Structure 1
Amino acid sequence: MAPETHAEDAGQAIAVVHNPERRRYELQDGGKVIGFTKYRFRSNQNQMVFVHTEVDDAYAGQGLASKLARFALDDVRAAGRRIVPLCPYIRAWVRKHPEYLDAVDMPTDQQIAEHDRAEQAAAGESR
């Protein structure tokens, strides 16, 4: 199954793509993945838990992470699901955009700490 493309800027080759097979939303430049926000789906709670966001350094400073976050959260909200921002970027983005708070279940400090420890352990294993 091919990824599901949702939006592309006119005049730009940067597209936002929902790739449910990889459980992430992607930024693509001419088909090349240049960024993504990864999630886990909790079906029993109808929640999309955002766990990690990154954009290639070559594309930094162009507002693409914000574009990605807005698209992903709009898509989740339109599907009637709840947003859990474990990812520090998504959590900070939601705080700057309070119009999304009606669809957000903020994680507890304990959940954030556990997530951060798991991320650090995974980063250590990949070295």
Structure 2
Amino acid sequence: MSRASRRKLQIFIRRAYEDPTPEDGYRVLVDRVWPRGRSKAVLALDQWAFDLAPSTALRKWFGHDPKRWEAFEQRYRSELASGEQQDRMRRLLSDSGGRSISLIYGAKDENHNQAVVLRDVLSCLSEE
């Protein structure tokens, strides 16, 4: 299939504390830790991709400090560049079956979190 005839994959980011919607498509939790106070049933996940989340060391170093955002983004992209992570991301894209994907995260900051970075990386990977 040519690139021109392919539909661009939609990848959304959603907070774990927002209720799921029918438009979410394939819902994937992308945190290493389970969102406090949220049950499996409420989250309505298709997958928990904890291995795609930032390493524990990187997550703790970042601490959701916006001043560290640029360095965090660069370090997280480095983690995602490994062959193992590339394989995991390709598997996630395949598992979605062409449906839109919603990356679910627990952080309060909607602009400075791992789902923002992962969405961008997955978008590029899906266009290859």
TM-score (norm 2): 0.27
Q: Which has the higher contact order (CA 8 A, sep 6+)?
A: 2
